Structures are given as C-alpha cells and as structure tokens.
C-alpha cells in the first residue's frame, strides 16, 4: 500500500502488489496536504494526514480483500477531524 498527497488536496492510495493500481482517492482536506502516514493502533490500520489547512485527519483503513490473487480493496473511512 502506498499513499501520495500534494497541493491538489487529494490523497491517492495505490496497491503496490498489483502494478500500483489506484485503490482510492480521498478529498477531505481544504488545502495542500503536507504529510500522510499509515500506522497501526490497537490492531487497527489507520491512515493519518495533515495539511496546510491546519487539520489532522484520522481514517480507519479496512482491508476488504486480502487473498494474493485479488487486487487490494481498501476502505478509508474518516474517523476524526482535528483542526
């Protein structure tokens, strides 16, 4: 899993095991995104992003398909927005 972010306010998540196919695009920030990270908290995969809009977004990242022949299906649901 690879996440990219930039001045266009979008986070793009790619599946590195399947030719870097686009899995999801998120557009919750209102200005440029300065950092994005994946982490695990209490056995739950989380994605955090922060931006020039001075907000920090926490998302639950849930893997829907995890067999080796199936492309990754990831759902990143916004859990908390701190500004």
Task: Count up the domains in the chain and report the number.
Answer: 1
**Nearest Cα residue to 1 out of 22, 16, 11, 12:** 16
Residue 21 neighbours by CB under 8 Å, 6+ apart: 14, 15, 71, 72
* pTM score, whole prediction: 0.76
The boundaries of the domain holding residue 17 are 2-82
pLDDT, residue 65, reads: 56
CA 81, 56, 83 angle in degrees (round to 5)?
65
What is the side-by-side strand order in the sheet with 2-5?
2-5, 11-15, 21-26
- Render pLDDT for 18-37 as a digit per residue (tens, 0 to 9): 899 888 898 888 999 999 99
Q: Beta strands 33-41 and 21-26: pairing type?
A: unpaired
């Amino acid at each position: 899993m690879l996440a990219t972010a930039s001045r266009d306010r979008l986070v793009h998540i790619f599946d590195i095991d399947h030719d870097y196919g686009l899995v999801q695009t998120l557009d919750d920030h209102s200005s440029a995104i300065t950092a994005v990270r994946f982490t695990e908290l209490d056995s739950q995969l989380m994605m955090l992003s922060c931006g020039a809009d001075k907000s920090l977004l926490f998302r639950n990242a849930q893997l829907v398909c995890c067999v080796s022949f199936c492309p990754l299906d990831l759902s990143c649901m916004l859990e908390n927005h701190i500004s």
